[in-house]
């Protein structure tokens, strides 16, 4: 089965239906590790939201393996290595990264993980989406996705999560234009049920303040 940027909703549902029947599905790319700047991450999001396990078959790089199954955006990401060990310096670093719209990737030592999550919650907010991969390819491999607050609670309640090699991924800040554009897409989808693309784009532009021409191009894509 092919799955690409222009696949329609039925393609996603078809793939997920196999998974929900307890079958295994492999996502294979002819361009290196899948899901790095690739629309496949949308499939990962939907699978995880349905409680389906998604695991990488990694190469030599833990950050890429973790990112590929995180369900977080892969078009812009920044690898930050290990955060500073001391709380004050760690907080300063997180504050400097708080406004970045790129997905942020960190390695973290197990004995500092809970403190790091505490600081991340304090600086970036309890509701910021995040992902944690632990012991990739090993016996106790685990993946947790949720908000920073939810991951902090998981780690605090389970000491096993504070062991092994850890990759922590934090979603980028929501770009204001991107947020408006997502709203505009939802508005367009509703308007196109009743109006031709040009009128739908014109009305959506008045509602959102975004470019009519940009929305018209998107309306044509949605209509197709």
* CATH, residue 79: 3.30.950.10
120 in the same domain as 89 = yes
Using 50, 70 and 90 to split pLDDT, how confident is the model at 66?
A: very high
Given 170, 190, 208, which residue is the final one in a domain?
Answer: 170
Question: What share of the chain has pLDDT > 90, as a percent?
Answer: 50
Q: Output the pTM of the full model.
A: 0.67
- Residue 65: CA atoms inside 13 Å, Cβ hemisphere, count? 19
Predicted local confidence at residue 148, as pLDDT: 94
Output phi, psi for 143, to 5 deg.
-130, 130
Predicted local confidence at residue 176, as pLDDT: 60
Token pair 């999550």: residue: 117
Question: What share of the chain has pLDDT > 70, as a percent?
Answer: 93
| Residue ranges making up the domain that contains 200 | 176-223
Q: How many domains does the chain have?
A: 2
Window from 39-43, 102-106, 133-137, 165-169 with minimum mean pLDDT = 39-43
Is 2 domain-assigned?
no
Is 205 domain-assigned?
yes
165 in the same domain as 183 = no
Q: How do residues 69-83 score in pLDDT, each as one tens digit?
A: 999 988 899 999 999
Kindly tell me the burial class for residue 99, based on how many C-beta atoms sit within 10 Å of its own C-beta (0-12, 13-18, 19 or more): exposed
Of all residues in the chain, what percent are helix, strand and coil, respectively (each to 5)? 50, 15, 40
191 in the same domain as 93 = no
Task: Report yes or no: 221 and 192 within 8 Å, Cβ to Cβ.
Answer: no
Using 50, 70 and 90 to split pLDDT, how confident is the model at 88?
A: very high
120 in the same domain as 96 = yes
Output phi, psi for 28, to 5 deg.
-115, 135
Residues in Cβ contact with 101 at an 8 Å cutoff, skipping those fewer than 6 apart = 76, 172, 173, 174, 175, 178
Predicted local confidence at residue 178, as pLDDT: 61
Mean of the per-residue pLDDT values of the chain? 88
């Amino acid at each position: 089965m092919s799955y690409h940027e222009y696949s329609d909703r039925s393609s996603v549902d078809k793939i997920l239906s196999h998974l929900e029947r307890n079958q295994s599905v492999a996502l294979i790319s002819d361009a290196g590790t899948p899901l790095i700047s690739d629309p496949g991450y949308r499939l990962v999001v939907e699978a995880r939201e349905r409680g389906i396990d998604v695991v990488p078959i990694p190469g030599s790089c833990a950050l890429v393996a973790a990112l590929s199954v995180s369900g977080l955006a892969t078009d812009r990401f920044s690898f930050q290595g290990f955060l500073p060990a001391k709380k004050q310096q760690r907080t300063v670093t997180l504050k400097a990264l708080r406004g970045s719209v790129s997905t942020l990737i960190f390695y973290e030592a197990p004995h500092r993980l809970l403190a790091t999550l505490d600081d991340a919650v304090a600086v970036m907010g309890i509701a910021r989406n995040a992902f944690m991969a632990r012991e990739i390819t090993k016996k106790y491999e685990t993946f947790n996705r949720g908000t920073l607050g939810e991951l902090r609670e998981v780690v605090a309640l389970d000491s096993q999560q504070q062991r092994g090699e850890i990759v922590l991924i934090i979603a980028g800040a929501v770009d204001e234009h991107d947020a408006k554009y997502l709203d505009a897409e939802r508005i367009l989808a509703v308007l196109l049920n009743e109006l031709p693309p040009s009128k739908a784009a014109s009305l959506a532009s008045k509602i959102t303040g975004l470019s009519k021409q940009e929305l018209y191009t998107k309306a044509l894509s949605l209509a197709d």
